Structure 1
Amino acid sequence: MVSGVSGVSTEVWTAWALTRRMSPRDQVRVMKRDAYGRVDENSYPLIYRVGPAEPTTPWAMNLADETGLFRVLCFDFDGKDKHGVDAELMEEAVDECDVLSRTLDSLSIEHVVCQSSGTGGRHIWLALHGGAPKLAVAPVASAARANFRRLDHGMLLNAVTGAARPPLSPHRDGSYSTVLRGNLNTLITPSTTIADLAALAAVLEARKPSLRAEHSPPSGPIATRHQAHRPLSVAGTAHMATIDGGSNPSWTGFMCLLSAANAGWQLVDVEHAIKTAPGLEHFRTKNTGRGDRRPRTAAEARARLGRQWDKAQQYAALQRPLPAVREPQDLSELDAIVTDVEALLTRFRVSPGRWGRTEASSNQQTILRALAYLTLQTGKRTVAAAIRDLGPMGGLGRTTAADALTALAAAGYIERVSASDDGNAAEWRLASTFSTAPSTVRSQPLNNPRPPQEIPSSIGRSAAELFNTRTHLVALLEEQLTDQRHDLFTRRGLGHLAGKLYALLRQHPSLTIDAAARLLGVTARHTATILSRLRCHKLLVVHRDGWARSKQDLRNQAALQLNVLGTLLARAERYRIEREVWAWWQAELSTMMSAPRSRPRRPHVSSRPLFEASSPGERVWPKYPRSSDQRGDHRSARELVNLGVLSPQNRWQYLGNAA
């Protein structure tokens, strides 16, 4: 017998007795023992009638009855990955569970919080008075998915087979689901109505992070007296000053790191900020799961910060080319964009051979992903995409990106709306041949759309569903692009295809050689070679079903061994210098073509101002270096920009020609 936790439930229940009272159906699904009597597989293939006798193996209870009405809801927060339980992910799951529990309390929705097993996962249970159809539950599931990354929301969308282990029930590892907060009697006498679900969906929709999570409001009150030692964006400053990390310290901590990475901070700056910044509480203390926090050890804090900082830098590099967020105007075009991107990703999945048969095809797929990501982020069909932005987003060079764009346009996957001119990037749009969205004849919106107060009747899905689907697609593309964007997966390293295979192993717990070959669209022999190289650098481990990622991310160490560490940073700096030299030369051409009387007085490049003017206005460029025949000396200009001579902060950097 398993009893309720003292002080939590007013009545003692056994696991099976509670299931018999709660179950919407007269049957549950149970695990099947293997030939050795073990229950190692996390599946419930057998049907067991709900009667007096308790099953001998763990069971799962359906959330909806035979008519499709949900009678109970279960929010499943888990911190597992393909290797099993991950302590870092589990802590995020506990934080997210606490956030949802407090939200339910604020709405006076009775619920029960359980630790689902000995590994630490969380279940939040609530019972529905009179049941609720799928259309009433779907908005809650959609909004919850947008708020909580560790939530398994699939069972909330499946009225046929959606099921979960009920409170107090046994787990296959020998532990039990134990009640942490709430009264089990509230699950026997339901009180949550459809109106309560609508209110919950509205609150979660209002609180969900922005499409660019860094711009989201803080998750709690902020300390007005806290001042970061280096400049941050307005949103980043708010996250850093969030008292005790707010309602979700793990999320707030990563938002602080992402803001710092976007602001050009170094790891040493973050380590200094951890000493005093309220928003970085996640890296000082740990959620115990009992409503309090305890200090981390120095080694644990250092290791967690290192992993999260690497992740924040990857996301910052991917998001750097994105334009500023603008006020929205339209929604119908966004529906067409989301539909087209869904169709594009489906095409990638069902015809991998088209994108894997050559290195050029693989690069084209990456550029298409980057364009789809820009399109979703901006909410505009036509996007300005420079080759020096698109290439680095996927870990490719500018010439590779240019070749891929040309090939994709010739194949009809994208269309060039305007060519690059006067320093402006060329404008591209995804072709509309992937699908046909309803009512897409309106003019191109100029701004980035947001959910309107009323939903146009021409849109096939609700506004909330549309924006949550968009958020999910953006997150999916971000994961794919950041996983393959690493120095190790450049051409001098293990190659771009190795990065794609490494990214695939985030979505799949394990892959055999044949399965990986089908997903990549290459031969099994080529796939085996890639797997061997990844295994050689300890990035993969042998799995019972093929190959899986190693638990520790050793990409930096492998890149150091191959002498490619820093390749992407060096490439980004080279492109920055090229842009600076180009802008300087364009300013020189404008001066040369203007009337002599209207030309500004330009200092020599070696002269340094005593201070930098803070008033806004156009930049005053120094004289462009000239060769002995008075032609523009582009090589000298590049060297000067590389030395930082054009930056007013480096006043005494350049002294060579000062005499």
Structure 2
Amino acid sequence: MRDLRSRNPATGDGSDEGFLVRCAAMVEAVDAAQARANAMPGLWGGDRASSSRRSSTGTHSTRAVLDALCLYMAQAAQLTVEADVRRISADTGYGLTTVHEALRRLATAADEASPESAWIVREGTPEGAHAQRYRLSRKFSTGTEAGNRTQVRARPAAASPLQARSQHIARLAKNLQTLAHDTFAAPRSLGRTAGLVYKHVDEGSVLTVDELTRSTGLDATRTRQALRALHLHGLLSRTEHGWTREENCDVDSVAHVLNVAGHLEVRRARYADERHCWAWWQAEVQWMSRRGKQRRRRRSPTAAQLLSVSDRPDYPRYPRSEGRGDHRTALALVRAGTVNAPALRAA
């Protein structure tokens, strides 16, 4: 299981006043968004709403995507983050189409006259290899414009912005790791509902069916079905006070028993190859727009590069078919390891 907490691009340690301001603004917005989301479990489609109703509200995948964006904001200590659907898919376990739909729902304004009535707002238009940028709606930020604050919001010593940020990263990453596991996300696994219930029965907690129905937004029937499946595979046990996690329960072992282990890792590898291919194509487009480029001196993607004679040696020539980019061949070359440009390896 991957550790999402380790992907933290922000290196501020609190000594930089600007970092503290950004961190405080981010924590304030994420606090508010998470509190509102937790208070409205039925909003995420857990109450078996009709298809038309879910299209205007959401499903549990919508909440997972919201949590992923909040995690990225906490990791970066920024209110606005860049995130592509493949990254979100890898971190939530949901497919690309589901992630696309969740982002659409989150960005749909409750009031057409007010874009800030949505959960998230798209910033700008993605260009080149850059992904779409997102931020939480300003309704989740109190006081003056978050980006223009000049002092850190006062907090109790036990919940400083830096501590709150670390708590958000740990909690959100843990929740997403549970959902993005083969045992709950792969075909023929225990399923999303079981994963949702398992996520809410945290280590050391004892919850009743009624408490789980309220926290998950599921009805009692589906909650009990999930509990039985989790109990059958040794992940949860029942006590006189409710349900709790089994000691030393091993979700990875359950994935092997169900013969679904490795499903998401294969998909993540495929997404990584697709991102690499996209970076290669964007570099090709950028090169084609340059003046004074040396078209005839760029090496073939399958040729040995003895001398660096190209005016852009980091990339070979992108495969062509009838004058157009041959993306299928390019993807095959990336998967075969033929294209080893530094920019692709770093993607």
Q: State whether TM-score is above 0.5.
A: yes
8 Å contact kept, 2:5–2:170: no
**3-state SS in 1 of match to 2:201:** helix
8 Å contact kept, 1:318–1:393: no
Question: Against the structure 1 CA distance between its residues 588 and 333, is the aligned structure 2 distance closer, same or farther, given a 3 Å change threshold?
Answer: closer
Shift of 1:397: 2.4
> 1:406 & 1:361 partners in 2: Cα distance?
12
1:638 maps onto 2:331 in alignment: yes
8 Å contact kept, 1:375–1:382: yes
> 1:462 & 1:520 partners in 2: Cα distance?
30
**3-state SS in 1 of match to 2:94:** coil
8 Å contact kept, 1:484–1:502: no
Query: Match for residue 382 of structure 1?
Result: 80
Deviations 1:547-576 (A, max 9, x none): 222223332232223332112211111111
Cα RMSD, aligned residues only: 3.0
8 Å contact kept, 2:10–2:75: no
Query: Match for residue 369 of structure 1?
Result: 67
- Normalization by structure 1: what TM-score? 0.44
Query: Match for residue 323 of structure 1?
Result: 9
Say which one has the larger Rg: 1
8 Å contact kept, 1:608–1:648: no
**3-state SS in 1 of match to 2:195:** helix
Shift of 1:345: 2.4
Deviations 1:265-324 (A, max 9, x none): xxxxxxxxxxxxxxxxxxxxxxxxxxxxxxxxxxxxxxxxxxxxxxxx521x5644x535
8 Å contact kept, 1:333–1:440: no
Query: Match for residue 317 of structure 2?
Result: 623
> 2:315 & 2:64 partners in 1: Cα distance?
37
**3-state SS in 2 of match to 1:621:** coil
Q: Which has the higher contact order (CA 8 A, sep 6+)?
A: 2
Q: Give me the identity figure in percent.
A: 33
Question: Against the structure 1 CA distance between its residues 605 and 500, is the aligned structure 2 distance closer, same or farther, given a 3 Å change threshold?
Answer: same
Give the unaligned 5+ runs of structure 1. 1-312, 445-454, 650-659
Query: Match for residue 115 of structure 2?
Result: none
Query: Match for residue 407 of structure 1?
Result: 105
Question: Against the structure 1 CA distance between its residues 590 and 489, is the aligned structure 2 distance closer, same or farther, given a 3 Å change threshold?
Answer: same
Query: Match for residue 540 of structure 1?
Result: 236
Counterpart residue identity of residue 138, structure 2: S
Shift of 1:508: 5.7
Counterpart residue identity of residue 646, structure 1: V
Query: Match for residue 357 of structure 1?
Result: 47
> 1:512 & 1:476 partners in 2: Cα distance?
22
Deviations 1:393-427 (A, max 9, x none): 22222322221111001041111112222111111
For these two proteins, the number of residue pairs brought into alignment is 318
> 2:229 & 2:279 partners in 1: Cα distance?
42
Question: Against the structure 1 CA distance between its residues 580 and 648, is the aligned structure 2 distance closer, same or farther, given a 3 Å change threshold?
Answer: closer
* Equivalent in 23, 27, 30 of residue 334 of structure 1: 23
Question: Against the structure 1 CA distance between its residues 380 and 536, is the aligned structure 2 distance closer, same or farther, given a 3 Å change threshold?
Answer: same
> 1:507 & 1:345 partners in 2: Cα distance?
21
> 2:5 & 2:199 partners in 1: Cα distance?
15
**3-state SS in 2 of match to 1:331:** helix
> 1:364 & 1:578 partners in 2: Cα distance?
24
Question: What is the 5 A alignment of 1:143-292?
Answer: none
Question: What is the 5 A alignment of 1:127-138?
Answer: none
1:523 maps onto 2:200 in alignment: no
Question: Against the structure 1 CA distance between its residues 324 and 472, is the aligned structure 2 distance closer, same or farther, given a 3 Å change threshold?
Answer: closer
Deviations 1:31-79 (A, max 9, x none): xxxxxxxxxxxxxxxxxxxxxxxxxxxxxxxxxxxxxxxxxxxxxxxxx
> 1:333 & 1:588 partners in 2: Cα distance?
36
Deviations 1:469-495 (A, max 9, x none): 222222222222223221111151222
Query: Match for residue 422 of structure 1?
Result: 128
- Normalization by structure 2: what TM-score? 0.81
Deviations 1:502-533 (A, max 9, x none): 12111562222222111110110111121122
Query: Match for residue 197 of structure 1?
Result: none
More helix by share: 2
1:485 maps onto 2:173 in alignment: no
> 1:314 & 1:475 partners in 2: Cα distance?
13
Give the unaligned 5+ runs of structure 2. 49-53, 110-117, 343-347
> 2:65 & 2:147 partners in 1: Cα distance?
27
> 2:108 & 2:298 partners in 1: Cα distance?
45
